[in-house]
Amino acid sequence: MSSIATSSDYEANNGLWKYPSVTSSAQSHLTSSSASDSFLSMDSFEKETADQLSFITQRSEHFNQLLDDLAIIDEIYTTFEDDQVESEPYERQVADAARNVAQKLQLVKQMCQLEEQHINEMEYFLYYYLEPIDNWIHESSNSDIFQKHPGLCSEKALVDLFQITKQITKAHQELFKGLKDRLEMWGPTQFISDIFAHFFERTAAYENYLSICPSTIVTIDTLYKRSSAFTKFMDSCASRANTKSFKDILFYLKKPI
């Protein structure tokens, strides 16, 4: 009888293992009392061990398939994990782009409203003041006032005021038309930079306007003070407008600035 404890003894004592391990089987066979039994036990051990490892030897295709399946799962997990990480900044970019498009659309609408109001006021200035003044200064009966006060009254300043104001008004009309046309065909990729580039080319008129402002203001102030005919004429210009929104000439003189 063997003096070494077998796995069955260990199981009975501890209750931890339900099946004998490869090592315990080998120990039980190697401790047999006879040599012949020992050889038979070794054969049984090899056969039993081979049966226990058959999932690797005889059924290795299942093991390889398992490894392939696990590898595919790892790749899928890695792929989706990377996509999730990379999709976050992409989604933010899409949201930012949509917000920028909406903001640009709102700004263009506001600009159209402001431009339309500005153009109306500039057209009032031209129609009710500057065009009549241009006709008035070319009347022969009114030429003497400029001859009496050549240092204070400049006929050229008033003529230039009329022409430059027309240029500025036309520039804003083109800007308004360009923005309005783009709004009618607005889309996410709509650009308006070319419209502003075209408007910028006409901003030289503002420099010319600023350069004549001092002499223009002095001329109009002198005409108001020294010519009663001019004062009556200006009152008639204001009364022709017949609207509460109409302002005095000083308001319109400052409007382009």
Token pair 């083109």 in the structure block, residue: 174
For residue 68, the model assigns a pLDDT of 63
d(C-alpha 165, C-alpha 126), whole Å: 7
For the chain, give every domain's residue range: 60-254
For residue 52, the model assigns a pLDDT of 52
Contact assessment for residue 210 and residue 220, using Cβ atoms and an 8 Å cutoff: no
Among 158, 114, 97, CA closest to 132: 158
For residue 204, the model assigns a pLDDT of 93
Q: What's the pLDDT tens digit per position in 152-191? A: 999 999 999 999 999 999 999 999 999 999 999 888 778 8
What is the sign, positive or negative, of the torsion defined by CA atoms of 180, 182, 184, 188? Answer: negative
For residue 88, the model assigns a pLDDT of 66
For residue 39, the model assigns a pLDDT of 46
Homologous superfamily in CATH for domain 60-254? Dbl homology (DH) domain (1.20.900.10)
Residue ranges of the chain with per-residue pLDDT less than 70: 1-88
pTM to 2 decimal places: 0.62
For residue 244, the model assigns a pLDDT of 77
d(C-alpha 144, C-alpha 147), whole Å: 5
Q: Is 242 left (phi over 0), alpha (psi -120 to 50) or beta?
A: left
